[in-house]
Amino acid sequence: MKQDINSSFIFKTWAKKGLGILFLFFYSAVTLYAETYSSSRNIEDFENKLKEQQKEYRESKKEKNEKEKKKLIYIEPFCRNLAKSVTYWEMTAEEIQECKNNGFGYSEVIKVILISKKADRKLDDIIKRRRSGDSFKKIAERYKVDYEEIKKETKKIRKEVHPHTNGQSIGARVNTYGTK
> pLDDT tens digits, residue range 88-120?
888 888 889 988 988 899 999 999 999 999 999
What is residue 143's predicted lDDT score, i.e. its pLDDT?
94
DSSP 88: G
Better pLDDT: 55 or 165: 55
What is residue 170's predicted lDDT score, i.e. its pLDDT?
45
What is residue 164's predicted lDDT score, i.e. its pLDDT?
60
Evaluate whether residue 178 is within a structural domain: no
Residues 65 and 93 reside in one and the same domain: no
Better pLDDT: 126 or 163: 126
What is residue 56's predicted lDDT score, i.e. its pLDDT?
87
- The proportion of the chain whose per-residue pLDDT surpasses 70, expressed as a percent, equals 64
What is residue 129's predicted lDDT score, i.e. its pLDDT?
93
Residues 118 and 168 reside in one and the same domain: yes
Per-residue pLDDT tens digits for 37-65:
666 677 777 788 878 888 888 888 888 77
Going from the C-alpha of 86 to that of each of 76, 113, 140, 174, the distances in angstroms are 16, 11, 20, 28
What is residue 163's predicted lDDT score, i.e. its pLDDT?
59
Residues 32 and 63 reside in one and the same domain: yes
CA 144/CA 111 separation, integer angstroms: 14
Q: Is residue 27 within 8 Å of residue 14, measured between CB atoms?
A: no
What is residue 73's predicted lDDT score, i.e. its pLDDT?
76
Evaluate whether residue 43 is within a structural domain: yes
CA 23/CA 19 separation, integer angstroms: 6
Residues 167 and 82 reside in one and the same domain: yes
The H or E element containing residue 82 is helix 77-85
pTM, rounded to two decimals: 0.53
Type of residue at 93: A
Q: Is the pLDDT confidence value at 172 over 60?
A: no
Task: Please state the rounded mean pLDDT for residues 3-16.
Answer: 58
Residue 96 lies in domain: 77-172
Evaluate whether residue 179 is within a structural domain: no
Give 5-11's long-range contacts (Cβ < 8 A, gap of 24+).
none
- SS3 assignment, position 105: coil
Evaluate whether residue 18 is within a structural domain: yes
CA 123/CA 116 separation, integer angstroms: 5
What is residue 178's predicted lDDT score, i.e. its pLDDT?
42
Q: With helix as H, strand as E and coil as C, how does 135-165 read?
A: CHHHHHHHCCCCHHHHHHHHHHHHHHHCHHH
CA 4/CA 111 separation, integer angstroms: 84
**Sorting pLDDT into bands at 50, 70 and 90, what band is 6?**
low
